[in-house]
Structure formats: C-alpha cells, structure tokens
C-alpha cells in the first residue's frame, strides 16, 4: 500500500524562482552570454528538480491528495514543454531546423503563440489551485496518520478548469491580435495622419539602388510600435526598398550598442554596409498619448527628413539679408517700419533644415562680391531696400553658372528686379490682388478680399503637392502679380512656366479701394508663381548639364509664419503648406522626390464663429438629446408591448 504524503508548500515557490531565473537570463541578461547561460541553467535545474519531486510525491500519495498532486505534476510538465518550444524560437532552434532567414519570422511567430498558450494554460491553473489550497490546508494533512483532511479534490478540479478557461481566453486574444495584424486593413479617417507615408517619402525610398533597413527598438507589445510598423509596412509595399526588423534592445544588446540605442522607442534607418554605412535615428515616446502629441502628428515629415539626410549629403541654402528682407526684419529702415509689416520665418528656416539644407545668411557685403561657390540655392524674400547694381550683377553671374534662385516679392517692399527683369523677361506689379468671390473671411470687412484663395496650379514639379490637393486651395495675402516684360538677356530666352494663377474673379486693385472698378480694372487670372529654366550648359567632359532655375512668387507671405488654431490646438505653420518643399526640391534638381509629405500641421481646420457655435451645440446639447430620445423611444416601445401582452392574457 502506497504511503500517503504531500509535497511541501515551498515546492511551488522554488518552481516560481526557477522561472524567474530563466526570465532574467533570457530577457534582462540576454546580451551577456555567460550570465545568460548561468541563470537559464540554474532555472532549468530548479524546474526539473521540483517536477521530479512532484512526480515522487504523486506516486507516494493516495486518494484525493494523489489527484491534486497529479494535477500539479501535469501543470509543471506543461511549463517544461512550453520552455522546450520557446527554445526552438531562439537562434539555436532556428539553426537546428535549418530555417532560412526569410521563413524565420513566421517560424518564430507560430512557435511563440504555441509556447505562450502552453505557458498560460499551465501556470494560471497551477497558481489558482495553489492559492486555493494555501499553507494551512497543507499543514492540516497529517503525514503520520495519512489522513486526507482539507483535500477537496472536486473543488480543486473546478478551480483548475477555471484557470484553464482564463488562460485559453487570454490565448484567444493573443491569436486574434496576431491574425488581425497579419490581415490588417487600415483606413485612416482620423486627424492623426500617422498610418500612411506621403508621396514624397515613397519616392525617396523607391529611388534608392540598395534597400534601406528600418530597425525598430520597441517593447514586444506596444501600441506606438504597431502604428509605426503599419507606417513602414505601407512604405515598404509602395517602394519595395525597405527591410523592416523588430528588435529588443536587451536581447539584441550588441546591435543596440552599435547604433547607441539606450531606450525603447528608437527607430534606426540604415543604408549601406561597412565603411559606406550611414544611419539616422528617430526617437518616439512609447506612450501613445504622448507620442500623438509629439512625433506621431508629423511622423511622415520626420521620416522624410531623415531619409533625405541618409541618401545625400547636406547642402547649403543662402538666405539674403541686410536689405530689410522678411528673413531679416531688423534691417528694415526706421522710416519704413510702420509701412512694412514685421513677419517671422522660423518655420521657413526649419523646413529648409528638414530638407537637409544648412541655412546661411548672405549679407549685402558678401553678395556685392559674388554668390559663394558652395551655394546650392539662394533665397530672396521681399527686400525692402533696393539692391545695388553690383548685387544684381552677382545674382546674374550666379545664374549664368547654373545657379538656383527663389524670389518672393511683396507689394509693400521694393518691386524692382534689377538686371533680372530683362534676363527672365518678367516684371512685378505691386498693385494688390483682390477678389470679392474667392477669399477667406477673417474680420467680415472688405479688407478680407485681400485674403485671396486660388486652386489654379499648373502641372509643374514645384507645385506637385498643391496641384493634387486643389480642393484645399492656396491662400495668398496682400499679393501682387507677375507680368511679362521684354527679354533683354544674352543668348537663349529661358523656358517660362506660370505655376500658380489666381481665380478669374480676381483683379489688381490699382486705386486701393477694395472694390472692382470695371472702367480701370480687369477681372482675370493673374500670375502668382512662375518657374524659369535657363538654357543647357557645358559641364565637365563637354557633357550638357542643366542651366539655371528660378522660382518667383508675387506674395512673400506664402513663406511667413502664421498661427492657426485647430481642434483646440494652436500651431505655427506656413500658409502655403507643401509649396516650399516642392519648390526647394525642384530648384535642387530633386523633383523626383516632390510630392505630398503627410503632416497634421499642414492641414489646419478653420471654423468661423458661427460654425464653432454649431459644433459646440451639437456636441454639448445635441448628443445628450439624441441619447435621451432613443432611451424614451425604447422605454415607450417596451411598455407598449407589455400592455399588449397583458391585454391578450385577460382576453
């Protein structure tokens, strides 16, 4: 007859300690092979020893106690089996079965689900049974007499089944999430545009000759990681030039150390190998709410900027100063400060930096000599003080060598184009552009007619994003107009394209009375933006290269800071949205990268006071009224059915 005995209460405690050693070895010290092996080995020894003890106890027990010990033994064997399956997901397991790198992801995912289900299905019932028994019930078992007091097997069995139910329900959620991830169909209708890459980003990725690696260092289960993974999956599908890898910075500590990853929420973009390898890093908060308020709002712009830094070297953009330009308001003469509005260009300069340009000032003393040789583009925004002939001559020589120039004029600034007027064959008309039909209401006065809206864009590379979003329109504030002038330059006349025009309801308000005077003024499409391409030049080896490129705009406010308020959030943006990006890319010969960059700040939602009142009423009053009405209708219907049934019973 078998001796009745019971396993001590501390057996389960040691079993838990063994699991803790394995967890520490595999997760916290996975990057240290020696410590990892030591901790994991100790953990496995403890688990096997306690399982052996449990088997011995089960064989020496009888009655209800033996059934309980058998349940514990089965649970512990389930834990060991789960750990064996886990071992097959490691590099050792992948190499053991000769799994290719391409199939390793699927192999690991399937086995991870299996060992997770096995581990949950074993640990949860064991924990619940152990908790229900407790130390007092264990000590109530009399080893000398072999009594069976305190052992209620049926209760233990029901608790065990309850634990298995909880474990399987949790496992079902895991598999559901896995299937949903593999069969993910996402439609972004939210204000946070973080799920899809913009056209420009797709073009940059697709234009590369070699793949770009995307290394995601995030916790295993993280909502921010899922959104970012969706973004890069979409970019990979669109470009075919991305390799996406998910890493744990503790397990892959060597890789994390190589790219100086010291915290979760780091994305590393890598191009090239060996000495030619280049990398850029993006950091995102792993808390979804904090991430939405910071990087996720403009994640596509962040990726676009880092990709540009990855695929080419930094360039130089020289911004003219010293002539009372919008970029240098301190140089406006005191007698003109009251007439010329002071505007800021912080977003303008930041955007140039995002496009991988180093922004440098080009003062009047330096310009009078010549434009620096390392200048990729030169930008002139509404000079108030006329340029000297030597300065215009320097700009002309710069263009003759294939230079790139952006000019933004303003009715309140100096309208003179100097030597460039004849060279380009255009002049600037400072009469304010006005429209009494297509305009943006601001103060409900006639002055609002100077906030002219247009959707007239040509199919030019400098207006790629604008031409594909004509429903949004472009706002020009206090603009003039670009008009044709006699060409007096040397050689071939440049190719001229009018890229932006006003609506045909606009006119130039020559007498500045905000009203259309049919006798002296004309409604038509006026030129707001123009692009010029000079004749081809001879480069090294006698090969042809592109000539100069010039972009001219009749409104410098397109590139000024503007404060917009949307959905309770204020942001400083450029009113022209994506115009600067495409303009700079075309000037720099990177029109292949032109296109939309998805950014929440580029799409401010504006409401009038009356619209805000309507939305306030609908959300604060309308929604509760709707719920109350539905509730009353439901109650009335139920009472009506109850009365009808009562009447039928009486009959």
27 and 147, same domain (yes or no): yes
284 found inside a domain: yes
| Per-residue model confidence as pLDDT tens digits over 59-97 | 888 776 787 788 888 888 988 998 999 888 887 887 888
DSSP3 helix / strand / coil % (the chain, rounded to 5): 50, 15, 35
Q: Which residues 6+ apart lie within 8 Å of 651 measured at CB?
A: none
What's the CATH number where 576 sits?
3.40.50.880
Q: What is the residue range of 171's domain?
A: 10-182
| E strand segments, 251-403 | 266-271, 278-283, 315-320, 357-362, 377-381
496 and 574, same domain (yes or no): yes
**For residues 574 and 560, is the Cβ–Cβ distance under 8 A?**
yes
34 and 144, same domain (yes or no): yes
641 found inside a domain: no
**Last residue of a domain, which of 562, 596, 630?**
596
Q: pTM to 2 decimals?
A: 0.66
282 and 324, same domain (yes or no): no
DSSP 440-506: --SSSSGGGGGEEEE-EE-S-GGGHHHHT-TTT-EEEES--EEEE-----SSSPPEEEEEEE--TT-
| Per-residue model confidence as pLDDT tens digits over 227-272 | 899 899 989 888 888 899 999 888 888 899 999 999 999 999 999 8
| Per-residue model confidence as pLDDT tens digits over 464-507 | 888 876 556 899 999 999 999 999 988 889 999 999 999 999 99
409 and 490, same domain (yes or no): yes
pLDDT by 10-residue block (mean), the chain, 651 residues: 54 87 82 84 91 86 77 87 88 79 73 83 78 53 42 61 69 62 51 68 88 91 88 87 88 89 93 89 90 84 90 93 91 83 89 93 90 95 92 94 95 92 95 93 89 92 81 85 93 93 94 92 95 88 87 94 69 85 93 78 44 52 63 67 64 56
How many domains, the chain? Answer: 3
248 and 317, same domain (yes or no): no
636 found inside a domain: no
368 and 273, same domain (yes or no): no
**For residues 381 and 327, is the Cβ–Cβ distance under 8 A?**
yes
402 and 340, same domain (yes or no): yes
CA-to-CA distance for 195 and 191, rounded, in angstroms?
11
295 and 317, same domain (yes or no): no
**Last residue of a domain, which of 576, 596, 616?**
596
178 and 206, same domain (yes or no): no
133 found inside a domain: yes
- How much is the pLDDT for 617? 55
| Helix or strand holding residue 433 (H, E) | strand 433-434
Query: Which DSSP symbol is given to 78?
Result: H
571 and 465, same domain (yes or no): yes
188 found inside a domain: no
**For residues 220 and 249, is the Cβ–Cβ distance under 8 A?**
no
60 found inside a domain: yes
528 found inside a domain: yes
What's the CATH number where 254 sits?
3.40.30.10
307 found inside a domain: no
Q: Which residues 6+ apart lie within 8 Å of 246 measured at CB?
A: 216, 218, 225, 229
128 and 272, same domain (yes or no): no
**Last residue of a domain, which of 274, 299, 324?**
299
Query: Which DSSP symbol is given to 11?
Result: H
């Amino acid at each position: 007859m078998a001796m009745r005995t019971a396993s001590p209460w501390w057996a389960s405690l040691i079993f838990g300690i063994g699991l803790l050693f394995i967890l520490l070895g595999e997760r916290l010290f996975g990057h240290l092979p020696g410590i990892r092996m030591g901790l994991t080995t100790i953990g496995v020894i403890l688990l096997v020893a306690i399982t052996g003890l449990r088997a011995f106890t089960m064989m020496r027990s009888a009655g209800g106690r033996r059934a309980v010990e058998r349940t514990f033994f089965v649970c512990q064997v389930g834990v060991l089996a789960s750990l064996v399956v886990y071992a097959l997901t490691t590099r050792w397991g992948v190499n053991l079965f000769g799994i290719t790198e391409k199939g390793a992801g699927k192999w690991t995912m399937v086995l991870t689900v299996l060992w997770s289900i096995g581990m949950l299905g074993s640990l949860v019932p064991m924990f619940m049974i152990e908790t229900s028994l407790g130390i007092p019930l264990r000590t109530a078992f009399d080893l000398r007499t072999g009594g069976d007091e305190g052992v209620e097997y049926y209760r233990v069995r029901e608790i065990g089944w309850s634990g298995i139910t909880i474990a399987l329900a949790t496992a079902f959620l895991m598999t559901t999430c896995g299937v949903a991830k593999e069969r993910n169909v996402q439609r972004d209708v939210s204000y946070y545009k973080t799920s899809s890459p913009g056209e420009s980003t797709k073009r940059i990725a697709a234009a590369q000759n070699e793949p770009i690696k995307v290394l995601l260092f995030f916790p295993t289960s993280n909502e921010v990681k899922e959104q970012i993974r969706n973004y890069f999956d979409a970019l990979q599908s669109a470009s075919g030039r991305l390799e996406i890898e998910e890493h744990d910075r503790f397990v892959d500590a060597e890789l994390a150390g190589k790219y100086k990853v010291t915290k979760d929420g780091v994305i590393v973009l890598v191009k090239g190998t060996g000495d030619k390898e280049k990398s850029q890093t993006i950091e995102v908060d792993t808390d979804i709410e904090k991430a939405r308020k910071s990087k996720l709002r403009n994640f596509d712009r962040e990726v676009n900027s880092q990709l540009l830094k990855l695929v080419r070297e930094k360039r130089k953009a020289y911004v003219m100063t010293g002539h009372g330009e919008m970029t240098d308001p301190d140089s406006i003469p005191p007698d003109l400060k009251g007439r010329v509005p002071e505007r800021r260009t912080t977003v303008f300069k930041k955007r140039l930096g995002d496009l991988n340009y180093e922004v440098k000032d080009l003062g009047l003393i330096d310009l009078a000599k010549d434009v620096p040789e390392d200048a990729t583009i030169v930008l002139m925004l509404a000079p108030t003080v006329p340029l000297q002939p030597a300065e215009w001559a320097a700009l002309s020589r710069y263009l003759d060598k294939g230079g790139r120039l952006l000019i933004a004029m303003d009715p309140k600034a100096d309208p003179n184009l100097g030597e460039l007027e004849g060279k380009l064959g255009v002049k600037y008309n400072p009469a304010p552009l006005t429209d009494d039909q297509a305009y943006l209401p601001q103060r409900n006065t006639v002055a609002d007619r100077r906030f002219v809206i247009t959707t007239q864009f040509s199919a030019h590379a400098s207006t790629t994003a604008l031409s594909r979003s004509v429903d949004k329109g472009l706002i020009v504030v206090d603009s003039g107009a670009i008009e044709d002038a006699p060409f007096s330059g040397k050689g071939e006349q440049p190719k001229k394209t009018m890229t932006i025009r006003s609506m045909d309801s606009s006119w130039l308000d020559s007498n500045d009375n905000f009203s259309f005077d049919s006798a002296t003024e004309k409604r038509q499409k006026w030129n707001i933006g123009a692009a010029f391409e000079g004749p081809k030049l001879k480069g090294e080896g006698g090969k042809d290269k592109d000539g100069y490129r010039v972009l001219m705009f009749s409104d410098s406010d397109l590139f000024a800071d503007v404060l917009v308020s949307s959905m309770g959030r204020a942001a400083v943006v450029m009113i022209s949205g994506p115009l600067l990006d495409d303009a700079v890319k075309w000037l720099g010969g990177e029109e292949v990268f032109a296109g939309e960059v998805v950014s929440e700040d580029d799409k401010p939602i504006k409401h009038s006071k009356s619209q805000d009142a309507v939305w306030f009423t609908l959300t604060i009053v309308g929604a509760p009224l709707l719920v109350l009405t539905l509730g009353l209708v439901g109650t009335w219907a139920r009472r009506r059915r109850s009365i009808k049934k009562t009447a039928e019973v009486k009959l």
